[in-house]
């Protein structure tokens, strides 16, 4: 029953994250991320901050949970039972194929401005619009599966992922650039669950206060930096 309860906790967190995604999209026009609605007028500054806050950690947490659940699955298997090829095939069916299908539907029903066949094919393989998340997540599974396959030490994996995250601004095809940024969050989730590290016991008022203060410092700093000419990252 304890394991079921833990997974129920993940379901609750996912629900809260979905609500934040809805909130983010509701305030996108006010934040200038989407084209303003006709007749909307000037929006309060608070709307801009709401949009920024609701997107500041949502995707990172989604990816973290995916890694956490992957670690839960791997904790039930022995090293002999792990098959990297099986994981890649399964995730390609669940992530890449739906991404291609819905990207095609998007092009057919919403965007009819086809510049060239090559650009259309390239866009479909990369995941158009909101579909970017699926190929990005696929590469997170692939990287972690490689680390498992070669029994890589976690400290070396963390070091490599930190370096890769620094190159997430480099434009690479098939959402690999986005994966460079998110792989670290995925692997942290995998690592915590795979090795049964109880982070709840590690948390206390002081620790939570430090994390909260650090988050506010980073969130406000990077948000203002992006506003004044930095690179803006959205959920789309």
Contact 141, 88 (CB under 8 A): yes
124-152 as b/e: b if 16+ CB within 10 A: bbbbbeebbbbbbbbbbbbbbbebbeeee
Q: What is the largest CA-CA distance in the chain?
A: 62
Q: In this predicted structure, what is the pLDDT of residue 112? A: 58
For residues 49 and 188, what is the distance between their CA atoms, to the nearest angstrom? 28
Q: In this predicted structure, what is the pLDDT of residue 231? A: 47
Q: Tens of pLDDT along the chain (236 residues)?
A: 444 445 677 888 888 888 888 888 888 777 666 776 666 666 677 887 888 888 788 899 999 999 999 999 888 877 667 889 999 999 999 999 999 999 988 888 876 555 677 888 888 889 987 899 999 999 999 999 999 999 999 999 999 999 999 998 898 999 999 999 999 999 999 999 888 877 766 667 877 788 778 777 776 766 665 655 444 455 54
Would you give the DSSP letter of residue 129? G
Would you give the DSSP letter of residue 35? P
């Amino acid at each position: 029953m304890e394991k079921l309860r833990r997974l129920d906790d993940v379901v609750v967190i996912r629900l809260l994250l979905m609500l934040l995604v809805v909130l983010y999209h509701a305030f996108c026009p006010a934040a200038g991320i989407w084209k303003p609605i006709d007749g909307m007028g000037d929006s309060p500054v608070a709307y801009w901050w709401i949009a920024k806050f609701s997107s500041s950690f949502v995707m990172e947490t989604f990816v973290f949970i995916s890694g956490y659940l992957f670690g839960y699955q791997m904790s039930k298997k022995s090293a002999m039972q792990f098959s990297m090829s099986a994981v890649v095939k399964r995730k390609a069916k669940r992530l890449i194929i739906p991404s291609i299908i819905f990207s095609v539907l998007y092009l057919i029903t919403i965007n009819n401005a086809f510049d060239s066949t090559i650009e259309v094919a390239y866009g479909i393989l990369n995941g158009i619009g909101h579909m970017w998340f699926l190929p990005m997540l696929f590469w997170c599974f692939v990287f972690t599966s490689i680390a498992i396959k070669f029994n890589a030490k976690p400290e070396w994996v963390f070091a490599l992922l930190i370096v890769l995250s620094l190159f997430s601004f480099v434009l690479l095809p098939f959402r690999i650039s986005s994966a460079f940024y998110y792989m670290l969050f995925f692997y942290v989730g995998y690592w915590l669950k795979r090795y049964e590290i109880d982070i709840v016991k590690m948390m206390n008022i002081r620790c939570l206060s430090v994390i909260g203060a650090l988050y506010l410092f980073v969130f406000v700093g990077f948000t203002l930096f992006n506003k004044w000419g930095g690179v803006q990252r959205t959920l789309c």
